[in-house]
Amino acid sequence: MLHKRIIPVLLLKDGSLIKTRRFKGKNYIGDPCNTVKIFNELNADELIVLDIGKSKAGTPPDFDLVSSIAKECFMPLTYGGGITSIEDAKKLFRSGVEKISINAANFTNDHFGQILANEFGSQALVGGIDLKKDIFGKTRIWNHAQNSFFSYEPKSYVQKLEKMGFGELFITSVDNEGTWAGAAIDLIGPLAESVGIPCILNGGINDIDNIYAALDSSASAVGVSSLFIYQKKNFGVLVNIPDEIQNYS
Amino acid sequence: MVTVLDLQCGNIGSVVNMLRRLDVECSVANCSGQLAHADRIIIPGVGGFNSAVLKLNKTIDMRAQLMELAQDSRIPLMGICLGMQLLFDESEEGEGVGLGLIEGKVKKLKPCGQKIPHMGWNKIQINKSDPLFRGVDTSSKFYFVHSFAAEPSNNTEILATTEYGQPFCSIVRKQNIYGVQFHPEKSHKFGMQLLKNFCEIPNAA
């Protein structure tokens, strides 16, 4: 029996750990390596680290930083942010990253995912997808690097990424991210059902029951950020995983 | 001293990081010369079967050196994930010829209503006792990421199985050669214990 995964999601910007709200603002959280150490002690299922400024700025990953994070991380580590070449990917895997997440590069290079899948295998490849409602209330694919919507319809886009060779999808609801409004289960559930690969539902988780509800959906895993790094809503930083979650599975 | 084989597509960093945490001396080998004096080998694995086989074939004497160390010198060897699959004769993932150190075939996991790849934490059913299992039991959890699994021809070589829709071989052992389908280097304290056990298995050589 496979246990569904509960995955802390950490955001990097300029070498620091930060937290955003609907992809905007940035609250300083602390030192990335120390935080990873804490999640390690707490036996987190997995860790996702995204350097959110990289694709927008067109700069490569901070390999030294990722490497020092990986040294503290004895659980599976996914890194995303600014990956545009096989060389980038190779360096990341060598430093101790299990999976890389590709988001912005999929908008400009149709073949990148496939090339990476052939080289490193699907299981090491996560497709990052951000969903956002447009002014008409229609859910669309959001390109954070360009600050614009992408033309693909969400369902055909997730299926396209599956065909390209991605082994897993990390789907974030921009409108829920950092809001403590609860996960967008209705939005992401149907997308997870339309592909054969595992999907991680991310954005908006506000309490333990919400985690269980998300895991009851067709998602294979849930990404949790605010709930694990703040004491509670509008409170200070306190990196923790509730006991109940630590004993889950 | 543990030698970690670098096939250019593996996540050698994770394995090296954990061995260092365990205070085990280790080195990384990417040519047969660096492999020559190995007395314990780990073949880590992330990647496709073919690209790993290609690298194995492209590196002068690598294949021959590995076979000699494993079969003649009988040093403890452990293949992890793709590294385990490489120990077998062939794989449905590609045309490449495996090391053939353990008889059998690597096959695509059958969906059985489950998502493929099999990705996440799962448990093992231990078939027989082994020094590898000191401090490890059926409540230990390990991290799996794979779409293919090995089917050893000889059932008695299956040390442990794992259930995912159907049972598959998650740990294999033929004499001094071990293969684990999960990633001990990413399985917290459980994986740390297992790797520690492997590093303490006496070297017959």
Give residue-wise pLDDT tens across range B69-111: 999 989 999 999 999 999 999 999 988 999 999 999 999 998 8
- The predicted model scores a pTM of 0.87
CB B205 within 8 Å of CB B73: yes
For residue B100, the 8-state DSSP code is -
* pLDDT range class, residue B37, cuts 50, 70, 90: confident
A242 CB neighbour count, 10 Å cutoff: 14
Task: Please list every residue in chain B whose beta carbon sits closer than 8 Å to the beta carbon of residue A74.
Answer: 17-18, 21, 185-188, 191-192
Write the ipTM. 0.77
User: Chain B: residue nearest A196 by CA?
Assistant: B115
Tell me, what's the pLDDT at B199?
97
| Beta strand ranges found along chain B (DSSP E) | 2-5, 26-29, 41-43, 77-80, 90-91, 94-97, 104-108, 118-123, 125-126, 141-146, 148-152, 158-164, 166-174, 177-180
What is the Cα–Cα distance from B125 to B148, expressed in whole angstroms?
19
**Pick from A2, A43, A167: which is nearest to B120 by CB?**
A2
C-alpha–C-alpha distance, residues B203 and B70, integer Å = 11
Please report the pLDDT score of residue B7 as a whole number. Answer: 84
The minimal CB distance from B14 to the residues A4, A70, A249 is found for: A70
Cβ count within 10 A of residue B172 = 24
Query: What per-residue confidence (pLDDT) applies to B10?
Result: 66
The structure tokens listed for A190 are: 């149907």
Q: Which of A1, A98, A121 sits opposite B163 (nearest CB)?
A: A1
Partners of residue B18 in chain A, C-beta under 8 Å: 74
Q: Provide the shortest C-alpha distance from residue B138 to chain A (in Å).
A: 12
CB B39 within 8 A of CB B65: no
pLDDT at A239 over 70: yes
Look up B188 and say whether it is catalytic. Answer: no
Q: Spell out a b/e string for A224-235, using b for 16 or more CB atoms within 10 Å of the CB, else e.
A: bbbbbbbeeeee
> Residue range A194-205: average pLDDT?
95
Chain-wide mean pLDDT for chain B?
Answer: 92
| DSSP summary character for residue B131 | G
Among B26, B81, B169, B199, the active-site one is B81
**What is the average pLDDT across A171-176?**
97
Q: Say yes or no to pLDDT of A114 above 70.
A: yes
Q: Tell me: pLDDT of A235 over 70.
A: yes
Smallest CA-to-CA distance from A126 within A95, A83, A156 is with A83
Given a cut of 60, is residue B205 above it in pLDDT?
no
Chain B residue with CA closest to A40: the answer is B188
Longest dimension (CA), chain B: 47
Which residue in the list B26, B93, B118, B183 is annotated as catalytic? B183
Task: Please tell me the total number of residues recorded for chain B in this structure.
Answer: 205
Average pLDDT over residues B192-199: 97
Q: Do B117 and A90 touch (CB under 8 A)?
A: no
Cβ-defined contact of B147 to A97 (cutoff 8 Å):
no
| A134 shares contact with chain B (CB less than 8 Å) | no
Between chain A and chain B, the number of residue pairs with CB atoms below 8 A apart is 119
Answer whether the bond into residue B76 is a cis peptide, omega within 30°. no
Q: Is residue B106 within 8 Å of B81, Cβ to Cβ?
A: no
- The nearest CA of chain A is from the CA of B82 a distance in Å of 10
Joined tokens for residue A189: 């559930």
Q: Is B183 part of the annotated catalytic residue set?
A: yes
Instruction: Specify which residues B121 forms β-bridges with.
Output: A3, B143
Residue A127 contacts B, CB cutoff 8 Å? no
Contact B117 A94 (CB under 8 A): no
Positions of A marked active-site: 130
Least confident of A164-173, B5-14, B72-81: B5-14
- Provide the pLDDT confidence category of residue A107 given band limits of 50, 70 and 90: very high
Cβ-defined contact of A198 to B119 (cutoff 8 Å): yes
Q: Is A70 on the interface with B (CB under 8 A)?
A: yes
In angstroms, rounded to a whole number, what is the distance separating the alpha carbons of residues B140 and B60? Answer: 40
Split at pLDDT 50, 70, 90, the class of A1 is low
Tokens of A204: 């908006």
Which of B8, B117, B141 has its CB closest to that of A167? Answer: B117
CB contact under 8 A, A121 and B191: no
Question: Is B163 tagged catalytic?
Answer: no
Dist CA B12 CA A96 (whole Å): 7
Whether B48 sits inside 8 A of A94 (CB atoms) is no
End-to-end CA distance of chain A: 10
| Cβ-defined contact of B46 to A167 (cutoff 8 Å) | no
**Of the candidate ranges A11-25, A204-218, B50-64, the one whose mean pLDDT is the lowest:** B50-64
Taking contacts as CB-CB distances below 8 angstroms, the residues of chain A near B185 are: 74
> pLDDT confidence of B9, banded at 50, 70, 90?
low
Contact call for B120 and A98, based on CB within 8 A: no
CA nearest neighbour of A177 among A52, A62, A75: A52
- The candidate with the shortest Cα–Cα distance to A157, out of A134, A193, A191, A203, is A191
